[in-house]
A and B are shown apart, each in its own frame.
Chain A
Amino acid sequence: MTDAQLIEKFLNGDVNAFNTLVRRWEKALYNFIIRYIGCREEAKDICQITFIQAYRNLVILRDPQKFSSWIYRIGLNVCRDEFKKLKRRKTHSLNNLDYREETSLNQDLKMEKSYSNDPDMAVHNGDIRNLLNMALQSIAEEQRVVVIMKEYQGLKFTEIAETLEIPVNTAKSRMYYGLAALKKVFDQWDIDKEKIIYEM
């Protein structure tokens, strides 16, 4: 059954049709979010929030054929909102009411920062994921989104352009600059294809 058919069923009252959509898209959406935001725990929450929003707003989706672009767009907007909140959130010790500015994002990156001075260690330890996460987080957001959508979600540039509401050539340009920026980062860390393959 296609996404459009499932949506139609859902709008006619079959909530299990929506659950099928969730099953179908949760992995792709989660992997998009985790690469965008760089934090596993937050990615789960954001994924859930995205589906909740989709559940509530599916009735206003004009073209059910465009569900994929729509769900990615919601996911991206939630990511951006949550990212702003993450930067502001404080955790509190209830014992003495003292404040520490520490977000779960920072906690995740703390682990990763131990590799930032030695990416070789990350590669040596088989921590390819952390390494690539750091690299992706270091490039401009608008480039990162396109790179993730292309390299990991396998979207066509027309789909990326539709999701981000930008011209196709702009999407391709951002991809170019994103890859170029990543190349610089990999060069700084002396990472190349052979090293990655060897360590994998």
Chain B
Amino acid sequence: MKCKFSQAQLIGYLYNEMDARDQKLFKTHLAQCSDCQKELQTLSETSHILKAWQEESPHLRLVFMNEISRSGRFWSKIKLPGFINSGWALAAIAGVVLFLFIFSWLRNGANLNLNDEDIADMPNRKQFLFSDSDAIEPRISDFQVQTPENNTYGLHATLAKSRDKKILKNINIMANIMDNALEEKYRHYFHTPSKTQGIYLDGLGVVFLLDKDSKKEFLETEARSIFKTISSSQEVETYSNKSRFGEGYHTTESLNGLKTNLIEVVENYSQTLLPISPTESVVIAVNFNKQKGGATTRSSRLVLRIQKKDLDTFNQGKMELNEFLKKINMREY
């Protein structure tokens, strides 16, 4: 443009975001300047073409629920062992609680049946956050309890909502199988701080929550088994240091062992998951805890999600293994 009006002013005029005085001046100029007329016309047409892309609906099914935390009134209802009344024990428990965000449409808002067993178990659970797709992310913190009295409800109510005892029983069986299978293979390699937990969520499916110690330790031992030529601890340290930052060939290589085993367990024991609806999913969320000592890294997690219908199709022999594996959604955070 050779005129005194800038491109910014031209755009301002096009979108009617120019002050009245400048607009008047530009309009006068426009009447006499064919270059500006042509330019304005071109920009206007381009803008018009862009508008052909219609809006889409996201269908996110995203709902946040209140966190559940210690409150004097709530905790008075819990019968805790005597030693837990100490400050240290309470602080430790407070640091390890279950918080689960559920992303689904709320169906029946107020009815809440928290039994004593569920309530008593709450401090011992870990937090996980997951969505209707497959974003799962662990969090650990206190959470506020929502009680029937104040007519809201915590996500734990949804955990307690699984009234189908068979589903719960089968999920517990699968969780134990998972523990035994991994424990057998990895018992010399890493420490598992807590047993695998299985949670059923109506409409989503089953979520298996695994806790593993420092990924660095895991990768060190995996590096040794995979890279047999490695003999010096310095080399292992080097590889492990690379893995700390999530880079390096062996990071992915090492995790694949765990992924393969997890998938194998689900495949081999899929009959246990028969009560899960084909429209639901089997989710396995592995939380790698922070490294102990030395430099700290973020805890990281691995999430695998298998659509139940794909698992069923594969087990019926109607899907090849390669195709089934491709359908498994994996994310690392």
Residues of A whose CB lies within 8 Å of any CB of B are 13, 15, 18-19, 22, 26-27, 30-31, 34-35, 40-41, 43-45, 47-49, 51-52, 55, 90-95, 97, 99, 128-129, 132-133, 147, 150-152, 156-158, 169, 172-173, 175-177, 179-180, 182-183, 186, 191-193, 196, 200
B49 touching A193 by the CB < 8 A rule?
yes
B51 touching A151 by the CB < 8 A rule?
yes
Of the residues A55, A93, A176, contact of B7 by C-beta under 8 Å: A176
15 A/B residue pairs, CB under 8 Å, sorted by A: A13-B144, A15-B152, A22-B60, A44-B58, A48-B103, A48-B133, A48-B135, A92-B330, A93-B326, A94-B259, A176-B7, A179-B47, A186-B46, A186-B49, A193-B49
Of the residues A15, A27, A129, A191, contact of B65 by C-beta under 8 Å: A15
Q: How far is the CB of B282 from chain A (nearest CB, A)?
A: 15
Quick one: given A27-B55, A93-B322, are A151 and B133 in contact (CB under 8 Å)? Answer: no
Q: Is the interface of A mostly helix, strand, loop or mixed?
A: helix
Q: How far is the CB of A48 from chain B (nearest CB, A)?
A: 5
Chain B residue contacts of A43, Cβ below 8 A: 58
Chain B residue contacts of A22, Cβ below 8 A: 60, 62-64
Q: How far is the CB of A126 from chain B (nearest CB, A)?
A: 10
Quick one: given A34-B56, A97-B253, are A132 and B8 in contact (CB under 8 Å)? Answer: no
Of all chain A residues, the one with the shortest Cβ separation from B321 is A95
- Distance between Cα atoms of A65 and B193 in the complex (Å): 45
Q: How far is the CB of A175 from chain B (nearest CB, A)?
A: 5
B92 at the interface (CB under 8 A from A): no
Of all chain A residues, the one with the shortest Cβ separation from B65 is A15
B45 at the interface (CB under 8 A from A): yes
A94 touching B325 by the CB < 8 A rule?
yes
- Distance between Cα atoms of A128 and B50 in the complex (Å): 9
Kindly identify, within residues 283 to 328 of chain B, every residue whose CB is under 8 Å from any CB belonging to chain A.
321-322, 325-326, 328
Chain A residue contacts of B322, Cβ below 8 A: 93, 95
> In the complex, how many residues of chain B place their beta carbon closer than 8 angstroms to a beta carbon of chain A?
53
A193 touching B64 by the CB < 8 A rule?
no
Chain B residue contacts of A34, Cβ below 8 A: 56
Of the residues A92, A132, A180, contact of B49 by C-beta under 8 Å: A132
B7 touching A27 by the CB < 8 A rule?
no
B137 at the interface (CB under 8 A from A): yes
Q: How far is the CB of B120 from chain A (nearest CB, A)?
A: 24
B91 at the interface (CB under 8 A from A): no
Between A31, A176, A191, the greatest number of chain B beta carbons within 10 A of the residue's beta carbon is seen for A176
- Distance between Cα atoms of A18 and B56 in the complex (Å): 22
Of all chain B residues, the one with the shortest Cβ separation from A200 is B52
Q: Contact mask B245-268 → A, CB, 8 Å, 1/0?
A: 000000011001001100100000
B66 at the interface (CB under 8 A from A): yes
A31 touching B43 by the CB < 8 A rule?
no
Quick one: given A19-B64, A27-B55, are A52 and B137 in contact (CB under 8 Å)? Answer: yes
Quick one: given A15-B65, A26-B58, are A45 and B135 in contact (CB under 8 Å)? Answer: yes
Q: How far is the CB of B14 from chain A (nearest CB, A)?
A: 9
Among all A-B residue pairs, the 10 with the closest Cβ atoms:
A30-B58, A172-B8, A176-B7, A172-B11, A169-B8, A132-B53, A15-B66, A183-B46, A128-B52, A179-B46
- Distance between Cα atoms of A152 and B103 in the complex (Å): 27
Of all chain B residues, the one with the shortest Cβ separation from A18 is B64
Of all chain B residues, the one with the shortest Cβ separation from A31 is B55
Of all chain B residues, the one with the shortest Cβ separation from A100 is B326
Of all chain A residues, the one with the shortest Cβ separation from B63 is A19
- Distance between Cα atoms of A35 and B7 in the complex (Å): 24
Q: How far is the CB of B59 from chain A (nearest CB, A)?
A: 8
- Distance between Cα atoms of A44 and B62 in the complex (Å): 10
A44 touching B49 by the CB < 8 A rule?
no
B256 touching A97 by the CB < 8 A rule?
yes
Q: How far is the CB of B228 from chain A (nearest CB, A)?
A: 15
- Distance between Cα atoms of A147 and B55 in the complex (Å): 15
Of all chain B residues, the one with the shortest Cβ separation from A34 is B56
Supplied contacts A31-B56, A48-B133, A152-B55, 8 more A-B pairs, CB within 8 Å: A15-B66, A18-B64, A26-B58, A97-B256, A129-B53, A182-B50, A191-B49, A200-B52
